[in-house]
């Protein structure tokens, strides 16, 4: 447990999404990546956040070149990564004015930094759930809380190809759809 509910909710969403997958080779909204590759990427990103915060080791693999081959169960990969990030953030005071994280500008207030970590877990939870044909594991409250984070950190990441261009809103979009559209994802994506 941490003192950061947004992170706990995002981690739980990622667990829920992973539990829904029957075919780890299935395509995802992340072009050219399977569900297994998205899981590897998401796990690597959580480890990277922990490493930036603690100075500990980063992922033992390149999260931006995932193989799609899972050694052991998905939980064998995911749970240590989530535990590492949760433990690292548990050591960060909510009042911290600067924390070091692996997204530009790299140093930011703790609330924004943990939001970036949570956003990463949540968006990939959504990707994995959509790949499995499962409902979104994100609550409307979580999506509402993550949208301002995305609006503060995503633009520089788009230049690196981490997110596609914003998709236009449509009538009837809920908070989850609004977040996904901002992140360049079609909320109605199906494999």
> Can you tell me the mean pLDDT for 48-76?
96
CA torsion sign, 92 to 12 to 60 to 164? Answer: negative
Query: Can you give the pLDDT at residue 191?
Result: 80
Instruction: Output the pTM of the full model.
Output: 0.96
Query: Which CATH architecture group holds 5-66+82-182?
Result: Up-down Bundle (1.20)
* pLDDT score of 93 more than 90: yes
Query: Can you give the pLDDT at residue 1?
Result: 52
Any idea what DSSP says for residue 91?
Answer: T
pLDDT above 70 coverage of the chain, percent: 99
> Which regions of 22-119 does DSSP assign to beta strands (E)?
99-100, 107-108
> Can you tell me the mean pLDDT for 159-163?
82
Confidence at 2, pLDDT banded by 50, 70, 90: low
**Residues 99-127: pLDDT tens digits?**
999 999 999 999 999 999 999 999 999 99
Domains of the chain, residue spans: 5-66+82-182
Helices then strands (H, E): number in the chain?
A: 6, 2
Residues 14 and 125 sit within 8 Å (Cβ to Cβ): yes
* Cβ neighbours, 10 Å, residue 1: 8
- The rounded radius of gyration (Å) of the Cα atoms in the chain is 15
Query: Can you give the pLDDT at residue 162?
Result: 82
> Can you tell me the mean pLDDT for 2-7?
89
Mapped onto helix, strand or coil, the DSSP state of residue 135 is: coil
Query: Can you give the pLDDT at residue 163?
Result: 87
- For residue 114, what are the contacts with CB-CB under 8 A and spacing of at least 6? 4, 6, 7, 89, 92, 99
Which of 64-73, 107-116, 157-166 has the least mean pLDDT? 157-166
> Can you tell me the mean pLDDT for 24-52?
97
């Amino acid at each position: 447990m941490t003192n950061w509910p947004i992170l706990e909710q995002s981690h739980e969403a990622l667990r829920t999404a992973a539990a829904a997958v029957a075919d780890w080779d299935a395509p995802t909204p992340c072009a050219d990546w399977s569900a297994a590759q998205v899981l590897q990427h998401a796990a690597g990103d959580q480890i990277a956040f922990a490493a930036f915060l603690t100075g500990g080791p980063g992922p033992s693999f390149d999260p931006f070149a995932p193989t799609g081959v899972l050694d052991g169960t998905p939980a064998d990969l995911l749970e240590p990564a989530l535990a590492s990030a949760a433990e690292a953030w548990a050591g960060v005071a909510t009042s911290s004015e600067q924390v070091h994280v692996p997204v530009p500008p790299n140093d930011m207030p703790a609330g924004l930094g943990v939001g970036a970590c949570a956003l990463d877990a949540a968006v990939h939870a959504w990707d994995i759930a959509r790949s499995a044909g499962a409902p979104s594991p994100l609550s409307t409250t979580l999506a509402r809380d993550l949208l301002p984070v995305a609006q503060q950190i995503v633009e520089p990441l788009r230049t690196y190809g981490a997110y596609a261009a914003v998709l236009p809103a449509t009538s009837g979009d809920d908070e989850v759809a609004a977040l996904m559209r901002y992140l360049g994802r079609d909320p109605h994506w199906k494999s």
